[in-house]
Amino acid sequence: MYHVWRVLCLKIVNEFNLIDHITRDFPLFQSNIVKGIGDDCAVWREGDQLRVLTTDSMVEGDHFLKDWFTPEQIGHRFLMSNVSDVASMGATPTFLYISLVLDDATDSEWVARLYAGMRPICQKHHISLMGGNITHGQTLSLTATLLGESPNKVVYRGGASVGDIVMVTGDVGSACVARLLLKNGKQPPDELFERLARPTARVAEGVFLKDFASSMIDISDGVASEARHLAMSSQCGVTINADTIPLHPASIAYEGLLSASLIECALRGGEDYELMFTVSEVNSERLQSEWPFETPLTAIGTMTLTQEYYLIQSGQTIPLPRGFDHLSENINL
């Protein structure tokens, strides 16, 4: 039945249309809610603190294969994807709940190693594991619910203005390159495999960016998808310059072995967990002069007046592709 339902979804909706369709009749009742559905985290106020909450799932066969990763690496990727959502709000993570659906092929030792992969992240960011749930099912599935906090403000997807510069931290596309190599039976070089197996959420960078960014999101579904989210939430258009998108130097040597170009990997691949944000020209100059991190910053586009989405590549302007969608065919599945 699940497979029939998924095929129907592939034919009639995408992920975000489905979310809108099934949640539109659910009003928000509590007066302290600041942001409900539609951002990387929900936000509410408790006294002078802002609280954020995100939840995410990984399913064996869709998001990971045991043949590709150790349990520790799967645990790291799993938790870091949630930490990245909190980071994209400019918040710091606090409380964690884990729910597992275990199949017959997953034993207690594998689960212990999964948690061992999450423990260093919890220690680094002072995340307290508060509880969760374990049950049995036909497919191994992992779900995390992560809370966070910010003492003054958070950054939303909406908030960009026409003329704001679109910037990213680090490099993008590396995780997709590694996944495509594994899919083709090739072992990626360590520096690319680490970007897929052990990504880094930019928590400190996100907190710092609160004083500069007009909007922000993490790059979990590719540059194209996240740029569209920022533009749509801000009621702007966006133009991305493909020639300025930062790629990992190690990925260039492997492009001929891939079923997609490096730019496609960056635009549509996802799982990089870098930050994409918008900033005014004035704030951009101040940001780059005060930036205290080794993580590089790169300007890759501009917010525009008309609500249209474009990519400039090799001097040509074309429609910006759509990014990763969990209910559609994607380049890295």
**Domain extent listing, the chain:** 32-150, 165-319
Question: pLDDT over 90 for what percent of the chain?
Answer: 83
User: What is the C-alpha separation between 27 and 64, in angstroms, rounded?
Assistant: 35
Contact 167, 277 (CB under 8 A): yes
User: What is the C-alpha separation between 320 and 307, in angstroms, rounded?
Assistant: 12
| Pairing relationship of beta strands 42-46 and 49-59 according to DSSP bridges | antiparallel
Report CA-CA distances (Å) from 268 to 87, 241, 263, 274, 316.
Answer: 21, 15, 8, 14, 19
pLDDT of amino acid 167: 98
Sign of CA dihedral 69, 72, 75, 79: negative
- Give helix 71-87 / helix 190-197 axis angle, nearest 10°: 70
- For domain 165-319, give the fold: Phosphoribosyl-aminoimidazole Synthetase; Chain A, domain 2 (3.90.650)
- For domain 32-150, give the fold: 60s Ribosomal Protein L30; Chain: A; (3.30.1330)
Task: Tell me the pLDDT band of 317, cut-offs 50, 70 and 90.
Answer: very high
User: What is the C-alpha separation between 326 and 153, in angstroms, rounded?
Assistant: 30
Task: Tell me the pLDDT band of 323, cut-offs 50, 70 and 90.
Answer: low
Residues in the chain: 333
pLDDT, tens digit, 9 for 90 and up, residues 134-178: 999 999 999 999 999 999 899 999 999 999 999 999 999 999 999
Bridge partners, residue 316, by sequence: 313
- Nearest-CA neighbor of 207 among 56, 93, 307, 54? 93
User: What is the C-alpha separation between 173 and 249, in angstroms, rounded?
Assistant: 11
Look over the chain and give the mean of its residue pLDDT values, rounded to a whole number.
Answer: 92
Sign of CA dihedral 262, 264, 267, 271: negative
- What is the DSSP code (8-state) at residue 309? E
Task: Tell me the pLDDT band of 329, cut-offs 50, 70 and 90.
Answer: low
User: What is the C-alpha separation between 32 and 29, in angstroms, rounded?
Assistant: 9
Which DSSP helix (H) or strand (E) runs through 132? strand 128-136
User: What is the C-alpha separation between 78 and 96, in angstroms, rounded?
Assistant: 12
The pLDDT of 6-32, averaged and rounded, is: 73
The pLDDT of 105-118, averaged and rounded, is: 98
